[in-house]
Amino acid sequence: MDGGATLPRLLLRNAQRFGHRKAAMREKDRGIWQTYSWADSLTQIKAFALGLAALGFQRGDKLALIGDNRPRLYWALTAAQCLGGIPVPLYQDAIAREIQFVLDHSDASMVIAEDQEQVDKILELQDSLPKLTYIIYDNPKGLRNYRHSMLRSFSQVQELGQQFERDHPGYFEAQVEVGSEEDIALICYTSGTTGSPKGVMLSHRNLIATANNLLMVDRYVEDDEIMAYLPMAWVGDTVLSVVMAQVTGLCVNCPERPETAQQDMKEIGPTVLIAPPRIWESMLSQVQVMIDDSTFLKRKLYHLFSPIAQKVAALRMKKEALPWHLRALYHLGNLFVYAPIRDRLGLRRIRYAYTGGAALGPETFLFFRGLGVNLKQVYGQTEIASICCMHRDDDVKLETVGTPVPQTDIAITESGEIISRNPGIFKGYYKNPQATAEVVKDGWLYSGDAGLIDEDGHLVFFDRSKDMAQLNDGTRFAPTYIENKLKFSPYIREAVVIGQDRPHVAAMINIDFEVVGKWAEKRGIPYTSYTDLSRKREVYDLIYKEVERVNSGLPAATRLQKYVLLHKELDPDDEEMTRTRKVRRRYITEKYADIIEAFYEEKPEVTVKTVITYQDGRQAEIEYTLPIRTVEGVEAVQV
């Protein structure tokens, strides 16, 4: 092979090696898992690729993708690559303005949209997208009466492809043949906690090298099963569901609907799972709620064995020998508690589980390790094709994100910034060499994250550098650390901790509507909406206990003194979070400046005006009064 390994060549290899013998992809449809072998995948991809060619798709053209994880979207992604084109996946919940930016900036000539909802979003924007020639859709439901010259269905495009094959035999293979490993294989727009999104260009070599490096740490095999349920626009999904699948031949499972992902996961029993902290946190809440709702005996058993699990996990992490009685108890616990819970969560067959993207609270991490899930922290950026640092099976430390993967160097600059270098480093931001030059210097990728390397060579990730905070007396603290402690509570969904240049630390908290709602119902506390529930005195009392718990584990100077329960959930549509659900701290401190001022002016309550953006882009202004709760006794302990 002249051009080196490319994803399309790996596809041809897999189709040849596995043929119809092995599943490449499964999708739950009509209640049944439909299986596509590697040979099926090739047939589908080839027909679609040639259809694109028939519609005029050229080497270097961009195909945007928007929708949930569907086999057809993955096929389209690979099809574009087969023609030397570049797929640009978008977040499926992106609003019109964001879609417009990415489609326009990436010069996308065609877009594949999952369903009517996505097609509608794009049709509305078509006047501002002169470069767009075709909109291709996967699910035809509701589109029957759309008469639009740009619209094509997935199967129509494949039919065109079959015709094209008859007229141009060998075209597909020739296109795959001319591809080079240095070609751009993917542009991922990073949601960015600041500024407009930037298009990260990754080559075939970047992606395949990253996959191979990861494989030297964790040995995936062709029989591994993964769930494709995270946004396709997130580089982690592409690396696992596309690159890893092509490299190893493992099977990718698409859930029936995003809401059924958990149930579907239980049916599949994936062996490899990557999830952002928010999903681990929500699984933990689910367990806590499940236990609360269960029978007396089960509750007792859980509370008996749960601490043992954590103790064992902590000892194992320290690589200390387990005393025989703990080992015996752990086996018993596994029989009665851990294994059933693993099964309930769909983690029964897990060989490798990862958390990444943001920091996961140590309590949550320990909980899953204790359950017997091989959960590891990973660290990386889109710019380095996902992961550059991770825990090893026998070398997991609670407060670190592990050690560098093979072929990777990691260092800390004098200012405490994490920098890294390996073959996965991206080819630059699309049409933005200036921004590229700011983050890549002398072959090192500057992450903008603060961290250090500990005595065992593990990387410790603090926070985004700019997110580290300092009280006005000079005490440094990591807001994320406190936030994660708060989020360990099943009642708290999200928290934003503030205190930069202030005398003390305070928090704005989002309650977990479902869990707190259920709690309120059980106690006969009436409420109408999220806002109403958030303002209830009883709910404030409930959260008070949680805040006290968090405070007990914090140094006196950084204990929370005040908190407010926000009247609305932080939402990416309001730009308060990124599409990967990371809090945009700077934006929030501006937006909720009134609340923050009120914290430090010792007011008992605060009135906030808020502009709400609806899904369709409309805006409305509403006013709320929020009580501010002071935590007693914190000042007294202060040194």
Q: Which stretch binds other proteins (CB under 8 A): 190-198, 253-261, 383-391, 575-583?
A: 253-261
Q: How many residues bind other proteins (CB under 8 A)?
A: 13
Q: If binding is defined by CB under 8 A, does position 170 make contact with other proteins?
A: no
Task: With beta carbons less than 8 A apart as the criterion, state whether 509 and 492 touch.
Answer: yes
325 binds other proteins (CB under 8 A): no
Q: Which of 2, 130, 144, 620 binds other proteins (CB under 8 A)?
A: 144
Q: In the bound complex, what is the minimum distance in angstroms from residue 33's beta carbon to other proteins? A: 13
Closest CB 32 distance from other proteins, rounded Å = 8
Which one of residues 2, 127, 167, 259 is an interface residue with other proteins (CB under 8 A)?
A: 259
Q: Which stretch binds other proteins (CB under 8 A): 69-77, 259-267, 438-446, 579-587?
A: 259-267
CB of 256 to other proteins, least distance (A): 5
Other Cβ atoms within 10 Å of 107 Cβ, number: 18
For residue 69, give the amino acid letter.
Answer: N
CB 374, CB 395: distance < 8 Å: no
260 binds other proteins (CB under 8 A): yes
- State how far the Cα of 233 lies from the Cα of 189, in Å rounded to an integer: 7
Q: Is 526 in the site for other proteins (CB under 8 A)?
A: no
Residue 257, amino acid:
R
* Four-point Cα dihedral 333, 337, 342, 343, nearest 10: 120
Q: Are 396 and 318 contacting, i.e. CB atoms less than 8 angstroms apart?
A: no
Assign 253 to helix, strand or coil: strand
- 133 to 66, 113, 357, 430: CA distances (angstroms): 16, 14, 35, 21
> Using CA atoms, how far apart are residues 535 and 151, in angstroms rounded to an integer?
48
Residue 618 touching other proteins (CB under 8 A)? no
Q: Does 31 bind other proteins (CB under 8 A)?
A: yes
Binding residue for other proteins, selected from 256, 449, 494, 546, defined by CB under 8 A: 256
User: Following DSSP, what letter does each residue of 358-407 receive, concatenated?
Assistant: SPPPHHHHHHHHHTT--EEEEE--GGGTS-SEE-BTTB--TT---EEPTT
Q: Taking a C-beta distance cutoff of 8 angstroms, is the pair 564, 626 a contact? A: yes
Distance in Å, CB of 29 to other proteins, minimum: 8
Among the listed residues 21, 141, 166, 325, the single contact to other proteins using CB under 8 A: 141
Cβ closer to other proteins: 142 or 323?
142
CA 238 to chain centre: 12
Cβ neighbors of 521 (< 8 A, separation 6 or more) are none
Nearer to other proteins, 117 or 177 (CB): 117
From candidates 19, 142, 169, 406, binder to other proteins by CB under 8 A: 142
Cβ-based nearer residue to other proteins, 259 or 501: 259
Contact range with other proteins by CB under 8 A, out of 147-155, 252-260, 443-451, 547-555: 252-260
Q: What is the DSSP string of 101-130?
A: HHHHHTTEEEEEESSHHHHHHHHHHGGG-T
Residue 263 touching other proteins (CB under 8 A): yes
**Extended beta strands in 479-558, E state:** 492-498, 505-511
Q: Are 424 and 465 in contact (CB under 8 A)?
A: no
Rank residues 145 and 552 by Cβ distance to other proteins and give the closer one. Answer: 145
Cβ proximity to other proteins: between 56 and 142 the closer is: 142
Q: Smallest distance from the beta carbon of 594 to other proteins, in angstroms?
A: 29
Contact status: 29 vs other proteins (CB under 8 A) = yes
The only residue of 2, 21, 30, 324 in contact with other proteins, by rule CB under 8 A: 30
Q: Does 145 bind other proteins (CB under 8 A)?
A: yes
- Binding segment for other proteins (CB under 8 A), chosen from 8-16, 137-145, 367-375, 579-587, is 137-145
Q: Single out the residue of 210, 206, 159, 213 nearest to residue 184, CA to CA.
A: 206
Nearest-approach distance from CB 297 to other proteins, in angstroms: 24
Q: Which of residues 486-525 bind other proteins (CB under 8 A)?
A: none
Torsion-angle region of 269 (φ positive above 0: left; ψ -120 to 50: alpha; else: beta): left
Which residue ranges make up the site for other proteins (CB under 8 A)? 29-32, 141-142, 144-145, 256-257, 259-260, 263
